[in-house]
Amino acid sequence: MEEPEKVKTPEWKRPDQVMQLHRLKIKKRSLQARMTNIRVNRENLDILKNCNLNNGQSVAQKRKNPFAQGEGNKRANITPPELETSNDNTLYELLKIETPKSAPESPITDSPLTFSNLFSKLEASKYSQEVEIPKGEKYIPIDWTLKTKMRFMSPKPFPWNSKLKTSEEASGTTGFVRCLDISEKNSTLDTSPNARLHRCCLTWQHPSLPWLELFPRCAGKVSANLTNNLAIVNNVPVKDALYKDWSDSFRSLFHLLRAGQCPYFYVCANNFTVLFRAAGICGISEAHALLTPTTRGFRQSLKQEEIDYTMPLRKDSKRRSDVTDSGCDTMDLAVSNTNTQSNNSEDQSLDDEDETQDEWLQSLGVDNSEIRKIHSSQARVTLEKETEIDNLKQSLIFVKGVEAQGLFNFLINCKSAITTTGPLAGVPPTLLAPVAFYGATLKPIKVKESTVRVDNERYFSFELKGPLLPHVLPSLCSLMKSSQLEQYSASCAQLNSTTSFSVTKYGSEQRESSDAPKIPQNIFAQENLSDCGFNDELLKKFCSSDSSHVQILDSIKYSNNLYTWA
């Protein structure tokens, strides 16, 4: 019997044997390619060439890896097509950003979103997302400074013009005189921007002498009709008639203020200006007045009339010898001691102290002549301290309540309020008010429209000239806002002697002690002043007790529904 053939187990093959078989297969393929005139693949020829070079080498020598990348050959892409992803997609996964289906154009640059510029775009998008918040406020602060000129400029035309129709002029005048809000829809008056503008450009004034410019009260300006004016001043009956008529107008205006039917008014003399404000304005619970500038002699006259006042803009003094204007205290001193008895006791103690010092000097053997010299030198130093703030902002005085009534009585009988020299000699102070009063004259504010160029850009200009009271600017800004004017700016010319009215803010209101009952502000103020001629929105601004709502406005800008000022 024949023995069954044994199954040969596969033997382990050496790498050189495998490569020899591989080279034989390549040779067969190359022969077949030559016979059929088929072009041999260049890659196979390169591999064959490498194999032939290694054929004569010994097995012990380190063989060359046939799978290594040859010179000039590109690396094979071994990544499956279904798993092939771009570097951008990988980065999206790492940053946990949703991969866009189609790369949109970047809002920052026109280049597509790639790995190289991704971080720069992310940084730029971070800043783009942080939108700059426009600076400004939604309100306009109140400026108690009297203004002589005002100019508005806008890149777009204003919704009105200076040429008024008959109905527009009549409706604007009627609205101002009767204190009507013609912007209301139920009004039968003309509600056009021209009519509303004309309503904002009117004021009440007394006296009104067409041949004299009574605002601003500048004594340096010589009137063109000075000879006629001197003839009137030298005529005593005419001079007395002017003063009597002015006294009646001043009294009528002050009574309107006390009754809450006039929010404020100004008394403009040659040497000073007085601002009377009704109770509730600026959150002050009583009628009050501010007067600036003052001199030592004027303050001494108030002291003789027993009118107590404070000087809120004056710095406090630490020593008794530094306290100027005897009988007048600063704000803090006035709060702690305001009654007359305490002042009398202090004066008496000072007199006793002076007598004691004189007796002590005499006991030392000092002659009376030397003592008089000492007193005169002390008086001279005191006088210098008292006069160093004359005609400055720090000389502003503030009175309220009963003292405001005393100041009214003092001014109506004050001879120094009427100058005796210059073109305005014998002419009483100018009264300016937003409401009608006895003897008042309705005066229009001069309006002028033009077109100007700034940096080769065209702007529409709107100018106002005349006595511009504090309510004019907020009223005009409210009119422009309702007319949907998107952007404009305004600049003002101030009457410098009245800027301290706005600097004072609420420093004028005396500080109440902790034990004193606090009067709630702005609760009854608007209701008590509901008949003063202002609408609710404007009255709310004037009755605000916030100190930030009182500013000196040299210029103002409006954009993005916000106001900025300087």
Task: Looking at mean pLDDT, say which of 24-33, 227-236, 456-465, 512-521 comes out highest.
Answer: 456-465
Whether residue 474 is preceded by a cis peptide bond, meaning omega within 30 degrees of 0, is no
Q: Is the pLDDT of residue 229 over 50?
A: yes
Confidence of residue 156 (pLDDT cuts 50, 70, 90): very high
Average pLDDT of the segment spanning 134-162: 91
* Pair (168, 298) in one structural domain: no
* Pair (470, 397) in one structural domain: no
Average pLDDT of the segment spanning 433-461: 93
- Alpha-carbon distance of 322 to 307, in angstroms, equals 22
Q: What is the pLDDT of residue 502?
A: 94
Q: Where is pLDDT greater, at 357 or 79?
A: 357
Question: Can you tell me which residue has the tokens 């609760």?
Answer: 523
- Amino acid identity for residue 9 in this structure: T
* Pair (288, 272) in one structural domain: yes
Q: Is residue 160 part of a domain?
A: yes
Model confidence pLDDT, tens digit, residues 238-281:
889 999 999 999 999 999 999 999 999 999 999 999 999 999 99
* Pair (209, 265) in one structural domain: yes
Q: Is residue 33 part of a domain?
A: no
Which ranges of 105-192 would DSSP assign to H, the alpha helix? 118-129, 166-177
Q: What is the pLDDT of residue 53?
A: 52
Model confidence pLDDT, tens digit, residues 344-353:
444 444 455 5
* Pair (473, 556) in one structural domain: yes
Q: Is residue 117 part of a domain?
A: no
Task: Looking at mean pLDDT, say which of 121-130, 336-345, 357-366 comes out highest.
Answer: 357-366
Model confidence pLDDT, tens digit, residues 180-216:
988 776 778 898 999 999 999 999 999 999 888 999 9
Q: Where is pLDDT greater, at 550 or 186?
A: 550
Q: What is the pLDDT of residue 44?
A: 55
* Pair (528, 397) in one structural domain: no
Q: Is 24 helix (H, G, I), strand (E, B) or coil?
A: helix
pTM of the model: 0.68
Q: Where is pLDDT greater, at 130 or 332?
A: 130
Burial class (CB in 10 A: 0-12, 13-18, 19+), 30: middle
Q: Is residue 130 part of a domain?
A: no
* Pair (402, 266) in one structural domain: yes
Q: What is the pLDDT of residue 317?
A: 42
- Alpha-carbon distance of 218 to 325, in angstroms, equals 28
Q: Is the pLDDT of residue 379 over 60?
A: yes
Q: Where is pLDDT greater, at 85 or 495?
A: 495
* Pair (275, 304) in one structural domain: yes
Q: Is the pLDDT of residue 115 over 80?
A: no
Average pLDDT of the segment spanning 62-73: 56
Q: Above pLDDT 90, what percent of the chain?
A: 42
Average pLDDT of the segment spanning 426-436: 95
Q: Is residue 2 part of a domain?
A: no
Q: Is the pLDDT of residue 13 over 50?
A: yes
Model confidence pLDDT, tens digit, residues 26-47:
888 877 777 775 554 555 555 5
Q: Where is pLDDT greater, at 113 or 200?
A: 200
By the 8 A CB rule, do 287 and 277 touch? yes
- Alpha-carbon distance of 70 to 86, in angstroms, equals 26
Number of domains in the chain: 2
Q: Is the pLDDT of residue 564 over 80?
A: yes
* Pair (459, 526) in one structural domain: yes
Q: Is the pLDDT of residue 555 over 90?
A: yes
Which structural domain range is residue 296 located in? Answer: 205-219+228-314+387-441
Average pLDDT of the segment spanning 394-420: 93
Average pLDDT, the chain: 76
Average pLDDT of the segment spanning 458-476: 94
* Pair (422, 450) in one structural domain: no
Confidence of residue 563 (pLDDT cuts 50, 70, 90): very high
Q: Is the pLDDT of residue 509 over 80?
A: no
Q: Is residue 424 part of a domain?
A: yes
Q: Is residue 255 part of a domain?
A: yes
Q: Which residue, of 396, 415, 441, is where some domain finishes? A: 441
Dihedral (C-alpha) 549, 551, 556, 558: value to the nearest 10 degrees?
-10
Average pLDDT of the segment spanning 117-129: 58
Q: Which residue, of 441, 457, 475, is where some domain finishes? A: 441
Q: What is the pLDDT of residue 375?
A: 62
